[in-house]
Amino acid sequence: MSAVPLQIDTATLLSSINNMWILVVSFLIFFMHAGFAMLEAGQVRSKNVANQLTKNLLTWSVGVSVFFLLGTGIASLASGQGFSAAFQSSADGWINWLYGAVFAMTAATIVSGAVAGRAKLRAYVTYTFLLAAVIYPVVIAFTWSAPGAGLVEQLTGTAFTDFAGGMIVHGMGGIAGLTAAAILGPRLGRFNDDGSVNVIPGHSLTFAVLGTLILAFGWYGFNVGTSAIFSDGAPVMEQLGRVAMGTTIAMAFGAMGAGLVAWAKSGKVDTLYVANGLLAGLVGITAIPHTTSWWGAIVVGSLAGAQLPIVFSFVEKTLNIDDVCAVFPVHGSAGVLGTLLFPFVAAPGVVDSVANAFIAQVVGVVLIGGWTLTMTALIWYVLKLVGQARVTPEHEQEGLDISEHGVETYPEFGGDEGVIADGGPTFKTDGGADITDGDAE
């Protein structure tokens, strides 16, 4: 009996390949939450690590559920297509929903780093719920709607360009984080009465750098993953190669740009600035990697990294806002910068009218920024008004791990009795008295 060749039509084959690709990319972007967890945990005090990790876990759990039940429907409704929730969709629709969900949850988790060390868990979860249900879905309606349906295109006649969420995800998250941090107020002891700044260092630079590299790895899912492999049966290799190249180059120059400016300001190459500069370079290119020339990737990455120490210093010393994990200079201002540079760094022949393209980008940035700031401010002001935004000074001093979760991330460093079951030493950190096992002076 002779074998019969498997007959599969081209459209079905391409759909299967693309769906599998989207799933793999979605899993890669999901893994970025491990990077956010490590990066943020490394930049907070040891007494707040469990709280930060819990917020990362609940961002995904609460946010993705809300985005499934409500968020996709609100996005569809806001773009004039009627309410269509994800659970009403088809198999292909569910795959596309998951791809959108990992982007949405990235925007949500950015905020947790800005309000670290003093926000009540219930306040943060409430904001995550509303971001996933309304704030982010409306941003999608402004921009990533069906062709011609986006508000920016309706207003300007030119589509808003954001390839993989440089402004829609990261810029929005950075603006939301800065707004929430401003309303919540700084951590105890962060600023003196005269406005001068006290440094509150994170507990683990190692965790922060590990988180940075995990995020950089997952970022290829953001940018390269968004570049379709197949279109009408033909590989889009030029775009795919451009995106991979631009993402990598901008990442590298972001790290160098931040390191150089930090060195020029202080005479030292600050490790955390280099790490965050690498991420700022990635944020900067994320809106435009499919159109940016090789030299444009260098420009975008360098500027995104270079602005980081400058903007962080302005936020800290001039605005007196305690943005713990520098989410605004890493995600907010870098996202805005890269989005606005689109027509100026594009490869030849990509942009028909620099003026029209720039106007569309400005309108998009203003719409996203204005909507995000307004809604975030409203939510956190209400939470503050009803006394549910911030933990008490006593709980903040004690640490959110104990007050919010009843655990200690590092039991060896705490304990009122100074003794642990295995007989090892214990140490009090964050200003407490050192306690040893009696063998040390």
Alpha helices in 185-293 (DSSP H): 205-226, 237-266, 271-286
The pLDDT assigned to 147 comes to: 64
* 421 belongs to a structural domain: no
Q: In this structure, is residue 400 part of a structural domain?
A: no
pTM of the model: 0.91
Residue 256 in any domain: the answer is: yes
pLDDT attached to residue 201: 93
Q: Tell me the percentage of the chain whose pLDDT exceeds 90.
A: 75
Cα separation, 130 vs 127, whole angstroms: 5
Q: What is the mean pLDDT of residues 253-257?
A: 98
Residue 433 has pLDDT above 50, yes or no: no
Give the Cα separation of 271 and 274 in Å (integer). Answer: 5
> Is the confidence at residue 421, as pLDDT, over 60?
no
Six token digits for residue 365? 């940035």
Task: Please give the backbone phi and psi of residue 104, each rounded to the nearest 5 degrees, phi first.
Answer: -60, -40
Residue 224 domain boundaries:
14-393
Structural domain count of the chain: 1
Give the tokens for residue 36. Answer: 């956010």
Query: Rounded to whole angstroms, how far apart are CA atoms 346 and 292?
Result: 4
In a domain, 3, yes or no: no
The C-alpha atoms of residue 280 and residue 270 are separated, in whole angstroms, by: 15
Nearest-angstrom CA–CA distance, 155 and 148: 10
Residues 6+ apart with CB under 8 A from 200: 45, 117, 187, 189, 190
The whole-angstrom separation of Cα 252 and Cα 436 is 44
- What's the distance, Cα to Cα, between the start and end of the chain in Å? 86
What pLDDT, on the 0 to 100 scale, is given for residue 422?
Answer: 54
What residue ranges in 229-383 does DSSP mark as E strands? 230-231, 234-235
Q: Which residues sit opposite 390 in a β-bridge?
A: 119
Asked whether residue 109 carries a pLDDT value surpassing 90, the answer given is yes
Q: Within a domain: residue 431?
A: no
**Does residue 300 form part of some domain?**
yes
Structure tokens at 150: 């986006």
Check pLDDT > 60 for residue 233: no
Region 356-385 average pLDDT: 97
Helices 333-340 and 172-184, packing angle to 10 deg: 150
Domain holding 18: CATH number? 1.10.3430.10
Q: What is the pLDDT of residues 47-95, one digit of tens each?
A: 999 999 999 999 999 999 999 999 999 998 888 788 888 888 888 889 9
Q: Does residue 426 lie within any of the structural domains?
A: no
Residue 440 lies in a domain: no
Nearest to 338 by CA among 311, 366, 303: 303
Query: Quick one: pLDDT band at residue 15, thresholds 50, 70, 90?
Result: confident
